[in-house]
Amino acid sequence: MLRAISLFSGCGGSDLGLTSLGVRVTWATDIWQPACDNYSLNMHATEVVCADIQNIKHFPSAEVMIGCYPCQGFSQAGRRDPTDDINQLFRHFGRALRRVKPLGFIVENVVGMTFGHNRELLHQQLALFRWSGYDVHWRLLDARDYGLAQERKRVFIVGTRKDLRLQYAYPKPTHQPGGRRPWTAQRVALKGFPLWPEGDYDPQPLSWYYMSRRRRRDWDETAPCVVSHSRSVALHPVSPSMRFVGPDEYQFITKGPARRYSYLECAALQGFPRSFRWVDGSLPLKYRLVGNAVPPPLMKAVAAPLVRLLT
């Protein structure tokens, strides 16, 4: 059985995808205590170290290493400052690579990494990982193409140790519009949830900025990208339809109550099983845990070809 260690693990979405392939995640780390607590609540066989990666000097042995370093510096919704220190956390992933020397690794990050000045940061990461002894490739993937009922585009970097001379191939899409298996509608992912789950969704008023975008999609469409800030979470399809009325302005077509997705619905759109547990805490905290996570089925899709190569 392959062993894996996980850096910048969050609540455990990426690791859940890896364990579903039979990989044993022995060790995980994150700096945010609620994420560590939520991880431990569900992944009992993994040692969880809650610490700043910069202070971790030793890493356990493993055949696989995964990491999803924070994305605020790359995010379209973030500061997008190439000089931000948070953009340099990939160097600690590289440091761990050189210490552990796993057979292969996987990194996930936001699509903003491919834009403008951030593209140079992407190239720096690829160069560092290659210098560390790995054949490295990257690709932009959309969760909709792999069965999730959510539009979510993310960059995945996969590397295999050069001495192994392996050829990793990214998974082909399993779902496509008009294909034998079309994109999954959000009605499928949300089936069985109550339409008005009081206390589980952010009830704050919808600001003018919120109404500047089409925040609602129909039941038979995929959902918009799940985000980590509760006020920015998209509208549930039980809400009235929206229409464009001018630059940066949408209105509801009919009167009636509207609401954001609940945090549990966001978790379902991310591909978490409904048995996955969430720590007690505020709604914003739960939304953040869910929105920052890697969808487990997407990590499973990316990791499956690597696991086959290494076993």
Sequence ranges of the domains in the chain: 3-176+292-310
C-alpha R_g of the chain: 20
The CA-to-CA distance between both ends of the chain, in Å, stands at 8
Q: Identify the three-state secondary structure at position 119.
A: helix
pLDDT of residue 4: 98
Q: Running along the chain, 311 residues long, what does each successive block of 10 average in pLDDT?
A: 97 98 98 98 98 96 94 55 67 97 96 83 94 97 98 97 98 94 98 97 97 97 97 98 96 96 98 98 98 97 98 95
Query: DSSP states of 281-294 as a string?
Result: --HHHHHHHHHTSP
Domain covering 3-176+292-310, topology: Rossmann fold (3.40.50)
Q: Give the active site residue among 11, 71, 225, 266.
A: 71
Distance CA 63, CA 171 (A): 20
180-190 burial, b for 16+ CB within 10 Å, e for fewer?
A: eeebbbbeebb
Distance CA 233, CA 211 (A): 12
Distance CA 212, CA 146 (A): 30
Closest by CA to 16, choosing from 268, 273, 265, is 273
- Known catalytic residue at 50: no
pLDDT of residue 178: 86
Distance CA 117, CA 211 (A): 30
pLDDT of residue 86: 60
Element (H, E) at 212: none
The single residue listed with the structure tokens 């990050």 is 109
Distance CA 79, CA 236 (A): 28
